[in-house]
Amino acid sequence: MGFRYVLGGFGAACAAWGGWLLFSQPEPWRIAVWLGGAVVVHDGLVAPLVMAIAALAALTGLRLRGVVRAALTVAGSLTAIALPPLLRPAGVANPTVLPLDYPRNWLLAMAAVALLTLMYAGTRAVVRRVNRRH
């Protein structure tokens, strides 16, 4: 029980420190708007999309529902992290600020998540099939 209080106190201290950092900025409302937007994107887009796909997987009887949900969670997290450079305005004044090809790199990351998920699912299916034969 004591560990819960320590953990809760640590969380409250981190939240207070974050609030202090937020309000010590010259324009804290800009950060607050961005954080609010992140909550809206997560709760209004990412979470319902993951839940809908998980529900569809359950309806089809897909045995790897947890794997699919984990892959969608990783893909959603990577997308949320990549949103700022993906949504940057075209023709920025300083081209060295965001010098990489972020849309291509995001697509490569999504392809890697899909490939690793398929490899894991395929390996599990093969192992299950081999175990049934013995």
How far is the CA of 42 from the CAs of 48, 74, 113, in angstroms? 8, 13, 19
d(CA 22, CA 24): 6
Q: What are the CB-based long-range contacts (under 8 Å, 24+) for 36-43?
A: 38/80, 41/80, 41/83, 42/76, 42/80
Q: What is residue 99's predicted lDDT score, i.e. its pLDDT?
A: 77
Q: For residue 69, what pLDDT is reported?
A: 78
Q: What pLDDT sits at residue 115?
A: 97
pLDDT at 92: 65
In the prediction, which pLDDT does 13 show? 96
The pTM assigned to this predicted structure is 0.59
Rounded average pLDDT over 22-29:
87
**67 within 8 A of 117, measured Cβ to Cβ:** yes
- 33-70, pLDDT tens digit by residue? 888 888 898 899 878 987 887 788 778 877 666 887 78
Mean pLDDT of 24-30: 87
- Tokens representing residue 93 in the block: 């004044």
At 77-134, the pLDDT tens digits run: 898 888 888 887 666 677 777 778 888 999 999 999 999 999 998 998 899 899 988 7
Higher pLDDT, 26 or 97: 26
CA pair distance 56, 24, nearest whole angstrom:
46
Helix orientation angle between 28-41 and 65-86, rounded to the nearest 10 degrees? 150
Length of the chain: 134
